[in-house]
Structure 1
Amino acid sequence: MKTTIDLSEQGNIFSDSELKNFKNKNFIYGKNGTGKSTLCELIREQKAEDFDVRIFQGFESVIGENEKLNAVVLGEENKKIQKQVDEKTENVLKAASQKNEKQNILDSLIGVEGIKKNQLLHNFEIAKSEFEQKDREISRFYKESATELTKQFNLGRSYNKNHFEMDIPNSGKLSDEEKEELTKISHENEKKQIFARSLPELKLEDYLTSTNEILHKKVKAKIVIPELENSPENQSFAEKGLQIHEKIDYCVFCGGEVTNKRRGELETYFKADEVLYLQERIEKGISKIDTAIEEIEKVELLEQGQFYSKYSVKELNQHLKDKKQEYVDFLLECKNQLEEKNKNLFEGSNLLELELPENFSAIQTDIDDLIKKNNEFTKNIENNKENSKKRLRLHFVAEKCEEAKHERLQGEKLSLEKKRDEAKKILDKEKNQIFAEKEEIEKQITAENLEIKRLQETIKNPEIIVRKINEKISKSGKHNLELKYIESEKHYQILNSNGSTRKINEISTGEKNIISFLYFIESLNSFDLDTGKPKIIIFDDPMSSNDDTMQYLIISEIEKLYKRKNLYEHFILLTHNSHFYLKVTHNRKNRRDKENAYKVDNFIRMSSDGVSTVFMYLENKDEDFKTQYGSLWKELKFLYDHDKKDFMCNTIRRIIETYMVFNGVPGNKNAESKMLFNTNSHFSEVGDLETDTNGYTREQIIDFLKQYFQQNNAEKHFNNYWKK
């Protein structure tokens, strides 16, 4: 099966529109920069659907490294997985760094020692300090005030600043009178119960009625005594004299004789039944009044000593005294009128018009209430005293608060508390946000680690392949390069001859390359990796950075590989190394069947004129070079054909230098041609490679080269390599 590769979309690199007819074996030589790797990718893109395209492009295409574990993974698929693992590991590292940043912020927000405080924490601490300072000021005021109250009220240890604070809402100032009263109550001793007392219940209206009835009465004399008629004074005097002279014959006043006749007349006048009845009634009335007055006067005033100081009896006693006096005055007035009536029994008297005093019922009620309250107070004396002390204490609390301007202090404290709480709210919000972000990062790390674990579990362990790699490396003389599988990490470590682990960064590029090369060779036999499609096996510069020993191992392995039948549909080798090219193609060019190798296999040269690459299909050995030195003459011919004069000069310089070294002849002594050949050959020179800097034609340049060989008696050598 012949395979063609479309190059049309890479016109900036290749001059040809296609690479024609890949054969079973294809050997391509091209300098670096001619597009070998681009060609490999085109083959992969265009043939992957129908072929199992296997490309070896050095260790980077096969080996994945993990410097942290000093380990490698083998295989293109494993490397892809390892790349994903590395990416996720990098994500974990970045996330861990972000987590650390978040933790640092959190530490600065919570004030971890040694971490600079966040401004939000600083703001909160200032607000908190200001609040606490004000709180301490108020607390100190409470404590000092509580101490003062304790001494003043003898409260002992039962009262402290907390009690003072709790008293403030209930505190209130007292008037001086209230203070005095409560002070007295607080010092009161328990008094005896006071028994109820009853005030007289006199119906004064009856006394007034009876008196007026008596006053209204008058009696008629049985006989007429002219000197007594219409003269109450004479009547009284005569009646008195009758009583005095009842058994005396002579008057004690005038000494005149008291005759029986006179005595008889007066007795008839004064001792008539009506007169006696009226007199008796007057006497009874006066007696009742006297009894009532006596009863009234017996009413005692309340004794203040029986009552607690809060219950003053002064006003009630005054009412009682006034009421007693009203009663006595009323009764005395009735008595006086009766006494006057007794002197004038034979004439009617004017009726009394007196205002009746109110009875004792109101005062009795007041006394009963006062006694009841006093007795109730006695029953609750201790509570009353405690309440008095409490009210006095609350008065003191109010006074202290007023002195200290407590209300203003509380207002300031409340303002500072709000400021503190707001600062804390802002701080907590920031902490919660950072913490949430940190948690989200931790979830991301957990998820990435789980995915890393999953990916690592998909990494295949090519145990048989690795055993063969170790055998081949050991046989090649490399005893410090052995692969060991680490199950826990799904990786391989590289061991020294003594079994110690070699660090990845201490393994040379050549050593990595030979491991990956051998893995690639052996993986071609793996059933696990076989897709069932015909294979295209491509080696893209497999000889990169290998020591001499490994070069021969690689050449040997490639020769074994391309000799195998039915392993592949197309074998393609691309290289820039002329020595390697000659070695690896030697057996293919020198066939035992004497057939033209260039007809059986593809030998292709990729040559660049500095702008694009041309594919040259070699048809015989004369078109190919036989040595590295010969490849320089082939390159010079290509540049000559494309009129690339500046590039020609550089290649000529390398031809002359190689000829000098191998033949021991002197260098170019022609100053003109020497300067010409060194044009654009050193990094110190800066110029446009497309600019014609020498002014010579390509024929003149070749003539300068010919002159050099003529000078060294080697014109035949020149003619042998330069055949137009």
Structure 2
Amino acid sequence: MGGILVIDSFSLKQVATYDEFGINLTDLKKINFIYGANGSGKTTISNFLFDPDHVRYNHSSLNWKNHIPVNILVYNKAFRDKNFGKGNIDGVFTLGEATKEEIKHIEKQQNELGELKNKLVKKKETLDKQIEQEEQFGLDFREKVWKGIYKKYEKDFKEAFSGVMRKEAFMKKIIEEFQSNNAKHLSYDELKNRSKTIFGKVPETLSIIQQIDFKRILEIESNNIWIKKIIGKSDIEIGKFIQNLNLNDWVNEGRNFIQDDTCPFCQQNTITSNFKKQLEDYFDESFTNHTNLVKSYKEEYNRLAVNLINFLQQIETKEKNNPDSKLDIETFTSYLKTLTSQFTTNKEKQNNKNKEPSRIIELISVKDQLESIQKIIIDANDRIKKHNDIVANYAVERNNLTKEIWKYIIGENNGDIEDFIKKSNGLQNGIDSLRKQFQDLRKQYIDLEREIKTATQNMTSIQPSIDQINLTLNSFGFENFQIDSSETENNQYQIRRKDGSLAESTLSEGEVTFITFLYFLQLAKGSTDQDSITDERILVIDDPISSLDSNVLFIVSSLLKEIIKSIKKDEGNIKQLMLLTHNVYFHKEVSFIDGRTKECGDTYYWILRKNNNVSTLQKFETKNPIQNSYELLWQELKSKNNISIVTVQNIMRRIIENYFKLLGKYGDEDLIKEFPSKQEQEICRSLIYWINEGSHTIPDDLYVEHPEATNEKYFKVFERIFFYMGHYEHYKMMMGIQDKEKVKELSY
């Protein structure tokens, strides 16, 4: 099918009658015929193609040729229900008001659009192949350098490959070094000897230890507040008494317990307003400010001390666990213990000062201890810097050696690497050129598509579809109703009788089926949307002749054969057809090519079967398995492993009835008596027991089931009927048997 955009394949699994194995339709052609009895699973196929993204089809898949989807129009029972029985029917737009010249011009543009799409598809195929070739070329080179270079030098120079010990990374490194490495060229032995020295244990860069900040701690520690005796005002009458008895702190603490006129000390009602006033005057604002300052400094000092101790303990822990530590850890730990003890003592003194503001305290100075710790850290950092300088120089030496190793490797494989880069660049240039051509074609396509839609926007109408449907109805004798849009709005149809009354509710089932199918055919040529009447589409038609008589069946098959011809010639916007039917005669009629041509490369055939409520599929490719009813019976009998014993008996009965009873004028006993043994006569009798029941014609809805265990006796007796009756050549012809020795097996 070249570059035409169609469905390439699809599968149905774990839905309706399709089990976990399901069915797979692969290599779909322009025309695809699927024959299957009622209930075999055809409607599930058409429903899936209508909405493949529905959650019920999670285990199924739909694959597009060239990965580009096309609009799918589905005709099935759901389509008939949706478009008939709701009153007004959505109108189908076609090119109605355009002149012949305008239509011809649009058709020419559509052909150009189709050619552009084919060019786009082919260009995309070429681009994808070029990309695939470039990727494969890269994969081949990747494997080559991995096996030929990495594996060869891995033992001696593995350290030089650090960071690129994966195939893709190693290949990229090879190309990078080829393009940029300017190191000096050393011999293999020189590089190997230097590697033993430099690629030993790698010293690591050490982190600088953060210095401590204790300025604020010393500021608080040296504040005069700690040696200041904080008392109330001495010129207050009660003040002299308090100070003479040295009760300042005791009274200060006790006044916090005064609630009313009861003394918190003697519990007598001795607290007067004058006494309260004297206490307030004694413990004035100055006293309060100083006591608050003590409390504030105490809290800040202790917070800073705790944070500093925690920080120094972290340094201690880290450096103890570092085997390469440059810190004098023993001295550091000793100073840290002393500092911790000093902070604890100062904390206790500050608590006392806070509780007894009049007390004079002298804090232990931690300055010397902190400066000693700071010096240890500074000395350690000096040693760390010297160590890191050594590491940096080592890194330079190691880096130089690594570059020299890569230089050697590049030199040894220069030709292969150069050839790869040259060819890879050529392939990439080709890809860039193809991508630009593809983008240019895509722009042309989009511009032309927009031009066509603009041109058709003012030329579309639903009237041509009305006229065409009515013309077809009249041509085939449906004269008592027609399609009309005179009393509708929004471009819709109605079905009316000649007297103008609505006919929808009084139409027969056959009339409904026929008119909805005609509507579908118009929809296949146009669209209910003015902007998409020229879009390409795929038709899926499921049993279009249900409830139709033989005359209308012929009409429908004729209409479909015209569409099939157009699809095969790549004319129009219908690009693919899938037709599903249970009717043998309709299948035979619509799939008929001509009297000379038996097969067509654009057409594939399948038979859908169901047994034990599981649907399966048999592929016949270009060979039509359904020629006529009699041939179909033999065709099914040859597939005896794919049908049940019940079906086998029925098929055998119908063949015997048609060939011997109707054509040969033989009776039941004429057949039975030819068998020599009593047992075989009884089996033959059971085979033809129902021969006189039912119709003397072969139904068009023959149901072909999935294989079950077969009874070989039936097949032997059936074969011997033809042998004993002298018609064995006919049996061999219909079963496709060419073995001449077969006769010897049957004559005993």
TM-score by length of 1: 0.39
The structure that has the greater radius of gyration is 1
TM-score by length of 2: 0.38
